[in-house]
Every structure is written in structure tokens, then in C-alpha cells.
Amino acid sequence: MSNAIAAFGALVQISTDDIAYNTIAEMRNVRLEVSGESIDVTSFDTAGWRERVISLSDWRWTASGFYIEADTAQTDVFSAITGRTAIFLRLRPEGTGVGLPEFQGQSQITAYNLEGAVDDAFAVDLEGIALAALTLAAQT
């Protein structure tokens, strides 16, 4: 039996004050990318082997779905990029529930893209980068 998690219940939420969160409506894809850097400290004393020390960590996110003009969260994301203000991102892979995982961190919106075709609904693509540490905790 697989322990894979179906993504259809995921929630992508944002807040302007880290208190009240709104779910971004009609998202179809979300990606959270966490990366780490290292510093090369190789010297003549390392016997021909590279040595590294752990350095900075980083994270970024993207979400895409249908553009909903009346959605408060989509409007807040647009206001954040045009007003050059930070937001708080909360990603709940399994939805809301006590004990379920929740990723959370402060972010800068780096892209807000709208796209539409004559035979399709308008789509919105959102991107953000880390402004502070990303946390993973169980929902309470």
C-alpha cells in the first residue's frame, strides 16, 4: 500500500499579517522548493577529496490555477507585488486538520502572471521567494 498523498486536498494560503489567512481560490498546481548551499573548503590537506561545509538554505514557491477576480487572496498577492510588500505563505498539503503538516514562511511575490486564450479560462501563475526561514509543523 502506498503512503503517497493525493494533492487534490492541498491548500495554498496567504496572509498580510501572519494572523488571518485566506486560501488562494482555484489553484491547480503548487510547488515548494527548498534548497541548500555549501561552501567549498577543499585544501591541500584534504588528500584530493573535496570538503564542504553547510551554508545557506533557501526556499521558493509557485502556484497556478484559474484567475478569480473576486478572490481576496489573489487580490492580496497582486497588491503585494505592486506595493512591494511581504506576505506570509502557508501550504497545507493535506488540507486543514489537527496534526496535519503545514509549511509556513514570509515571502516576497516575484511574479504575478495572467494568461488567457480564446478557448480557455484565464489562468494565474504566482511565484514567491523566501524572506525568512521556512517552518514545518503539525497543525494545532
pLDDT tens digits, residue range 56-103?
999 999 999 999 999 999 999 999 999 999 999 999 999 999 999 999
Q: Which helix (H) or strand (E) holds 126?
A: strand 123-130
Cell of 122: 484565464
Answer whether 61's CB lies under 8 Å from 128's CB.
Answer: yes
Residue 45 belongs to a domain: no
How many Å apart are CA 6 and CA 96, to the nearest integer? 14
Check pLDDT > 80 for residue 40: yes
Residue 36 belongs to a domain: no
CATH code for the domain of 78: 2.30.110
Cell of 16: 498580510
Residue 106 belongs to a domain: yes
Residue 118 belongs to a domain: yes
Confidence at 6, pLDDT banded by 50, 70, 90: confident
Give the list of residues 6+ apart from residue 32 with CB closer than 8 angstroms, or none: 59, 60, 61, 91, 103, 134
Q: In terms of pTM, does the model score above 0.85? A: yes
Residue 83 belongs to a domain: yes
Residue 51 belongs to a domain: no
Structural domain that includes position 22:
11-29+60-138
Residue 110 belongs to a domain: yes
- What is residue 37's DSSP assignment? E
Cell of 109: 511575490
- Integer-rounded Cα Rg, in Å, for the chain is 19
How many Å apart are CA 57 and CA 125, to the nearest integer? 24
The count of domains in the chain is: 1
Residue 70 belongs to a domain: yes
